[in-house]
Amino acid sequence: MFQRLTLFFLAAISLAACNFGSVSVERNADGTAEVIVSLTESEVNTAIQTVLTNMGNPLLRNPSVDLQPGQIVIAGEHDRADGGGRVSGTVTMTLSVVNGSIQAQVTNATFEGWDVSDARIQEFNQQLAERLSGRARQDNPRATLSSINITDTTLEVHITVQTQR
């Protein structure tokens, strides 16, 4: 479940970066340019809601995103697999950039009636890292994902672009 949620979350952020937010470009002294895509908490929330709503059987219903310094908390309702109704829960994630690739890590997950132990989270994060490696390949070999910054109001994606001299 967490793998699907994380992959949909990353897809939502990517789509949001294309359709929402503000984009700024700063030239650096070394001849590179830094492109900064800033998404508000509302834009991230809308993107995640849209992705989950368009799924036939969404992992979370009525999701709500809370950006916090360094992390993202997604709260919502999950349909129990046994058909026993819906339970509420939250997933806390961090995003970082390692060697030009996005790394997402679930640091906490809490769902009513479901034990999500540290061992399960660690196993999930390992599987997630394996699946994400290589998924964030750049279409432009001159562009490199350099950092992601999460504050309580925005999610910023920084991309370094090698400009032609």
pLDDT at 150: 94
**Could you tell me the residue ranges of all domains in the chain?**
2-162
Q: Is residue 8 helix, strand or coil? A: helix
Model confidence over 32-80: pLDDT tens digits?
Answer: 888 888 889 998 888 777 776 776 666 678 889 999 999 989 898 888 7
Select from 103, 102, 106 the least CA-distant residue to 124: 106
Two tokens at 64? 């709500």
Exposed/middle/buried for 156, CB within 10 Å: 0-12, 13-18, 19+? Answer: middle
- Model's pTM, two decimal places? 0.73
Cα(150)–Cα(53) distance, integer angstroms: 24
Give every residue of the chain whose pLDDT is below 50, as ranges: 1-12, 15, 132-138
Where residue 100 falls (left for φ over 0; alpha for ψ -120 to 50; beta otherwise) is: left
